[in-house]
Amino acid sequence: MTDNWTAIAMAFVALFLVGGIISFLKQGLKKGAVLLAALAALATTAAVLWW
């Protein structure tokens, strides 16, 4: 287990945003899903760089 909790937190944020993307797509909110996809990509990048 790593001691880098920031990277773990960012990974969980990214997973939470992916769930939001799925929810937004089911509701037909494509612009919101695109925004969440961009934020999820940023959170994933932050998690990888912090690791």
Give the whole-angstrom CA distance, residue 11 versus residue 38: 14
For 37, the token pair is 């996809």
The single-letter DSSP state of residue 29 is -
pLDDT at position 4 is 84
> What are 1-51's pLDDT values in tens digits?
557 898 999 999 999 999 999 999 999 999 999 999 999 999 999 999 988
Can you give the pTM of this predicted structure?
Answer: 0.85
pLDDT at position 48 is 92
Q: Please, are residues 6 and 49 in contact by the beta-carbon 8 Å criterion?
A: no
